[in-house]
Amino acid sequence: MKKRILSGMRPTGKLHLGHLVGALENWVALQDEYENFHLIADYHALTTNLDSSEIYQNSLDMLIDWLAVGLDPVKSPMFRQSQIKEHTELHLIFSMLITSARLERNPTLKDQIRDLNIENVTYGHLGYPVLQAADILLYKGNVVPVGEDQVPHIEITREIARRFNTQWGEVFPEPEAKLTKFARLPGLNGDMKMSKSAGNTILLADSPDEIKKRLRTAVTDPLKVRRNDPGRPEVCLVFTYHQKFNPAEVPEVEAGCRSGALGCVDCKMNCASKIADALAPAREKRTYYESRLSEVKEILHDGETRAKQVAQTTMGEVHEVMKVG
């Protein structure tokens, strides 16, 4: 029997290259090896932004990107968290099994508070990992593909699963984190990660011209001021992009940069061309789904029906061992 994966994202609209290399490529590669469930985490979106007016449209945009990069809705149900009410019930039960002090020690939460300049942390934001534990364990996820920054959340999930199983009876597995090989792509401004709020992204939906325009703004080696100045590829984020999207020319790009023969503008435009080529199949599929929104909504409805069946079965087991209901 295949092991099961639960993975998901908050619906923030169209996705970018950071999502592609940090998660989506891994999800697509794993969908034949595992039984995958893909969650549109629309309740999680409220932890940092209470404006819910765009969540549904953002969910559709994100789902289209998932489909465009190759996720197969037949193999992998895709569904909104808010439409499976069992998520909230299990979250409530799990919230009794962990202390607020444990949640306050979560380093991922501390980083998010710092990055988003959050002054007052809500109960829901503090309990984000508890809801995430419910998301994973509701489908008895054995494996969770994540970046390094999410590993502390998976450890909290494992702790909650152990506590539940010890308190009431064996229901849940203790999921393992599966780190991606290329977990983080630097943002165009040199930040360690791409973020739409920082304006340092290349979107999967961008046209070749838009990709060139965005990449022109990318920071490079600050010591390479003029074209013939020797550069340091190891400190240039554009070289990082070459390593991912243009591996065949990496030795040539590195040598040209170090010698000063390769100017930064030419280097950027070459890289932009390779990125555009890599995204061409996804852009074509995105165009297809954008013109067939009824099909996208049907995929979502089917995924929610299939996910709910699994969620109801799990909650039946929870009620049985807890002797409630």
The pLDDT assigned to 180 comes to: 62
* Percent residues over pLDDT 70 in the chain: 98
pLDDT tens digits, residue range 292-311? Answer: 999 999 999 999 999 999 99
- Cα torsion 255, 259, 264, 265: sign: negative
- CA dist 82 and 21 (Å) reads 27
User: 37 has which bridge partners?
Assistant: 6
Taking alpha carbons only, the member of 53, 41, 151 closest to residue 106 is: 151
Contact 234, 205 (CB under 8 A): no
pLDDT of 211: 97
Average pLDDT over residues 266-279: 97
Q: Which of 14, 28, 33, 29 is nearest to 69 (CA)?
A: 28
Separation of alpha carbons 63 and 57, rounded Å? 10
How many residues are given for the chain?
A: 325
pLDDT for position 181: 60
Tell me the average pLDDT of the chain.
92
List Cα–Cα distances, 54 to 46, 59, 124, 205, 310, in angstroms: 11, 8, 20, 18, 28
Which pLDDT tens digit goes with each residue over 104-130?
888 877 777 777 777 788 888 889 999
Distance separating alpha carbons of residues 307 and 314, to the nearest angstrom = 11
| Dihedral sign, Cα of residue 131, residue 136, residue 137, residue 138 | positive
Chain-centre distance for alpha carbon 12 = 11
**Region of poorest pLDDT, from 55-64, 113-122, 132-141, 308-317:** 113-122
Would the pLDDT of 182 be above 60?
no
pLDDT at 281: 97
Mean pLDDT of 182-199: 80
Question: What residues contact 187, with CB distance under 8 A and at least 6 apart?
Answer: 18, 193, 194, 195, 198, 200, 201, 237
Domains and CATH numbers, the chain: 4-186+293-322 (3.40.50.620), 206-286 (1.10.240.10)
Q: What is the pLDDT of residues 74-113, one digit of tens each?
A: 999 999 999 999 999 999 999 999 999 999 888 877 777 7
> Per-residue confidence at 146, pLDDT binned at 50, 70, 90?
confident
Per the CB < 8 A criterion, the answer to whether 5 and 145 are in contact is yes
The number of helices, as runs of H, and strands, as runs of E, in the chain is 14, 5
Which residue matches tokens 């969910």?
A: 59
